[in-house]
Amino acid sequence: MQIILIIGQILLGGYFVYSGLNHILGIKMLSGYAKSKGVYAPHLAVGFTGLMLLVGGLSILFGFHMRIGIIILVIFMLGVTFVMHAFWTEKDSALRMNDEINFSKNVAILGALLILFVK
């Protein structure tokens, strides 16, 4: 069972590290998207959340202060899920479907983070 936990940490931590790098490397594009969603100081918000993703992801990936990393990621996920993917406010059906998919994915990832927190 320990090997399964390690594989899970690699997959979950790697997902967040990858997302954090994408936030930082794609800050200009993601800032525009954040601005369209009404995020205050979008460039700063995208950069800061990119760091949150990196720190949290690395903590899971390497098993270093994982609970702190998970708390950081839960805070990130709660904010981004309800602000960036508020599908119930979207008028365009294609955009609403995209936001609903991302909202649901984020809720599932939040569940995984909470399970890992108690391990």
Structure tokens at 93: 């059906």
Domains in the chain: boundaries: 2-118
Contacts of range 103-110, beta carbons closer than 8 Å, 24 or more positions apart = 106/77, 106/80, 106/81, 107/81, 109/12, 109/15, 109/77, 110/74, 110/77, 110/78, 110/81
- Percentage of the chain beyond pLDDT 70 is 100
> Tokens 């995208």 identify what position?
46
Give the pTM: 0.92
27-46 in b/e form (b: 16+ CB < 10 A) is beebbeebeeeebeebeebb
pLDDT tens figures, 11-63: 999 999 999 999 999 999 999 999 988 999 999 999 999 999 999 999 999 99
